[in-house]
Structure 1
Amino acid sequence: MDKVRIGILGLGNMGTGHARYLIEGRVEGAVLAAVSDVRSERLELAAQEWGTELKLYSTAEELFYSGEVDGVLICTPHYDHPQQAAAALKAGLHVLIEKPAGVYTKQVREMNEAAARSNKVFGIMYNQRTNPLYAKLRDLITSGELGEVRRTNWIITNWYRSQSYYDSGGWRATWAGEGGGVLLNQDPHQLDLWQWTTGMMPKRVRAFCSFGKHRNIEVENDVTAYVEYENGATGVFVTSTFESPGTNRFEISGERGKIVIENDKMTFWRLRVSETEFNATFKGGFGQPECWKFEIPVSDGGNHMGITQDWVNAILHGTPLLAPGEEGIRGLELSNAMLLSTWTDGWVDLPINEDLFYEKLQEKILSSDKHKDANSYETLDVKGTH
């Protein structure tokens, strides 16, 4: 194989964006061979814009078994990702899914098991892993330059969404339509980066989520979560969709200093000696380790095309994936844990009780306005698929 024939499932904003750079030939070793969408008008527009040579399919199954593609990029609604990924893998196709991996970890774990059985290349569109800021942060932590991580703090409130945004689609911000709010829609990249850069998952979570705060919506749009790690470190994650202006600041404190990412810049306050060594040897009253401030130079980056290229390279050349699809469950587990902590009003240990989360989610789906609207959401069932 010298070219990977890619099919795109779902021609919404993300699917259309992926299609355009593939058609422009910006991913080496890849060609867009086919697209699929349940909406006939989207297929008609695709034919008009991209030409009649592109194969068009109205169902996922037709695309998967067409023989026209080697791999698929899945850009459908959240609930569909695990089911469709497993079906594509079973059909013998390589798979790249858009984030999030799914809505609940029980379903995503089944998808991961299907991937393990398939011997196919399975990736997830965590394009922020290609962002040099976070790649450098991961390097500074894993290399030991920061020392042992002692505290993480991420405040990301620059996701402003107006009521008109939520009203633009009946599926938006509903339990039945999307399965969650800011944690599932806006924050999957940050939840992934939080654990990926530090190399740590919390051992337990206590979160406080507000649902429909200052907005007429069903799902969470304001979250404050506190986490504890095995090594004694702690962390805080704060996010919302109604603050203007918002903030995006990621701060990591370690044994050898502090790193802050804010306004697309990285600053490293580096201690000349580790805090542990200073504390063991200092005999004065008040005092602190000598600290040097550095602006860490990084280049621009972090686009979707980079992950697609990485996936294609893995298919053609066997190179390791930057964002394996199996790792999508980690950020999702953090999201699920925060919601479950709020619903049960208590601490949640990781790994979470997946059956309990599923049970609580079904309660939300059954009470969802979207679920009650049979005319606009006829195919939903309470297992969370559509």
Structure 2
Amino acid sequence: MEKVRFGIIGIGNMGSAHALSLIKDIRGAELAAVCDTNPDRLHWAQNNLPESVQLFETPEAFFASRAMDTVLIATPHYDHPGLAIQAFENGYHVLVEKPAGVFTKAVREMNDAAAKSGKQFGIMYNQRTNPLYIKLRDLIESGELGTVRRTNWIITNWYRSQSYYNSGGWRATWAGEGGGVLLNQDPHQLDLWQWTTGMMPKRVRAFCQFGKYRSIEVEDDVTAYVEYENGATGVFVTTVGESPGTNRFEISSDNGKIVIEDGKMTFWRLRVPEPQFNREFTGGFGQPECWKCEIPVPRDGGPQHKGILQNFTNALLNGEKLIAPGEEGIHGLTISNAMHLSAWTDDWVNLPLDEDLFYEKLQEKIRSSTFQKEQSVGVVLNVKGTH
């Protein structure tokens, strides 16, 4: 193909931003169609998008139109897997917004449909374009850090006021959104946590506070501890109720320590790896010589969403490798599902995750959700079956 025709389903905040990016900034792409069941959003599209962009009121008409080559899904979380499966079955490539879904059973179905389709599949993990995390991943993969021993991520600068949650009845409800800070704000960090290190936990113990700082039914404060197969450990702390917040990612390894904070990367590099020093040192008190190194990394944050859109377009036009393959969306979601399940059962959760147990517990939360039943019928139907 000479140009990739995109169709966007869901043109709320993110969908409309992607629409404008496709029109103005993405080489080799064009916006061909949009779909939204909300008449107000279609009215916005009519007034703000080129006349050539086709407008659709239903997913069925949208998929049947053949107006596009690629479907970009930017709907509420629960709908992501079901719409992706429909898109694959109709012969489209798919780029899905984060998170991949709400529960891994549905995302696994989506991944299976992608594999059977033979189409390109990506996820909007725009933080993978950030030079800081690209460099960290490179340092770990190249062996520069040696064996990772401990990971700590404190990500508490997701401040959200009560008025934010009051702006929509679906927000921060089990039936409407499927979770709180872990599912809404933290999918990027949960993805980067495992993507940069190359490690998934083998078990998780999490303590989630539900409605601790805000009048909501989902988690707004989380502290989780994980263990990895190689003996390393990790801690993940997040909340929407602290100000000022912190964003600090620390990785301790045999060869020193890296800290990412305030847009900078600092490497405390040991001249001799700690295991070697421990074997050879005989002086009693002492520790390895350590150099504080400021790693030169661009501080522009990378191309972000536009970078993912351009990369996906390039993948279709010339075979460029995807930065964020859609199949990898299940990894971060597995971690957040495990954290929720650990809090709900007040116990350790081993990976692979017991997906049936998580789904059962999630259904209990949905049935007791404050989200009005007449508003949530469509959402609940999508939860009961993605296909």
State if a TM-score over 0.5 links the two structures.
Answer: yes
* AA of the residue aligned to 2:2: D
Q: Is there any run of 5+ residues in structure 1 with no aligned partner, and where?
A: none
1:347 aligns with 2:356: no
Aligned partner of 1:381 in structure 2 is 380
Structure 2 residue 180 is matched with structure 1 residue 181: yes
5+ residue gaps, structure 2, are: none
| Aligned equivalent of 1:163 | 162
Partner of 1:5: 5
- The aligned counterpart of 2:98 is 99
Is the CA contact (8 Å cut-off) linking 2:79 and 2:382 kept in structure 1?
Answer: no
Moved over 3 A (4+): none
1:201-254 Cα shifts (integer Å, max 9, x gaps): 010000000000021100001000000001100000000000000000000000
* Pairs within 5 Å for 1:56-67: 56-67=55-66
Matched residue, 2:239: 240
Amino acid at match of 2:20: R
* Displacement of 1:303: 1.1
5 Å matches for 1:106-117?
Answer: 106-117=105-116
C-alpha distance 77-346 of structure 1, shift in aligned 2 (>3 A): same
State the distance in 1 between where 2:194 and 2:88 align.
27
Matched residue type, 1:58: E
Aligned counterparts of 2:61 and 2:262: Cα–Cα separation in 1? 45
Instruction: Measure, in 1, the Cα distance between the counterparts of 2:129 and 2:10.
Output: 24
| 1:221 matches 2:240 | no
In structure 1, C-alpha distance between the alignment counterparts of 2:77 and 2:373, rounded to whole Å: 19
Q: Indicate conservation of the 8 Å contact 1:153/1:251, yes or no.
A: yes
- Aligned pairs for 1:1-386 within 5 A: 1-24=1-24, 26-299=25-298, 300=300, 301-370=302-371, 373-381=372-380, 384=383
| In 2, Cα distance between equivalents of 1:383 and 1:70 | 25
Structure 2 Cα separation of the partners of residues 378 and 341 of structure 1? 28
Root-mean-square deviation (CA, aligned residues, Å) is 1.1
1:284 & 1:324 partners in 2: Cα distance? 50
Residues 300-355 of structure 1, C-alpha deviation per residue, up to 9 Å, x if partnerless? 21510101111111111122211000000000000000000011111100111000
- SS of the equivalent of 1:270 reads strand
| C-alpha distance in 2 between matches for 1:379 and 1:81 | 13
* Contact preservation (8 Å) 1:122, 1:326: yes
Aligned residue pairs total 383
Q: For the residues of structure 2 that align with 1:155 and 1:257, how far apart are their CA atoms?
A: 19
* One-letter amino acid of the counterpart of residue 293, structure 1: K
Which range is displaced more, 168-177 or 295-304? 295-304
Rounded Cα–Cα distance in structure 2 between residues aligned with 1:347 and 1:90: 38
Residue 215 of structure 2 aligns with an amino acid whose one-letter code is: N
Answer whether contact 1:365 1:382 (CA < 8 A) is retained: no
Q: d(CA) in 1 for partners of 2:104 and 2:373?
A: 27
2-structure distance, mates of 1:2, 1:245: 48
* Contact kept? 1:157, 1:247, Cα under 8 Å: yes
Q: What is the Cα deviation at residue 288 of structure 1? A: 0.6
Secondary structure (helix, strand or coil) at the match of 1:381 reads helix
Give the 3-state SS of the residue equivalent to 2:341 in structure 1: helix
- Give the SS at the match of 1:155: strand
Deviations for 1:49-78, whole angstroms, at most 9, x for unmatched residues? 123221001111211221110001100000
- TM-fit CA distance, 1:383: 5.5
How far does residue 378 in structure 1 lie from its aligned partner after superposition? 3.6
SS at match of 1:159: coil
- TM-score, length of structure 1 as denominator length: 0.98
User: What displacement does 1:382 show?
Assistant: 5.7
**Per the alignment, in what secondary structure is the counterpart of residue 369 of structure 1?**
coil
For residue 376 of structure 2, give the secondary structure of its aligned residue in structure 1. Answer: coil
For 1:20 and 1:261, the matched residues in 2 are separated by 32
8 Å Cα contact 2:210/2:218 also seen in 1? yes
Structure 1, residues 98-135: CA drift from partner, whole Å, max 9, x if none?
A: 00000000110000000000000000000000000000
* Cα drift, residue 276 of structure 1: 1.0
Q: One-letter code of the match for 2:329? A: G
In 1, Cα distance between equivalents of 2:118 and 2:315: 12
Tell me which moved more, 301-310 or 104-113. Answer: 301-310
State whether residues 82 and 382 of structure 2, in contact with CA within 8 Å, keep that contact through their aligned partners in structure 1: no
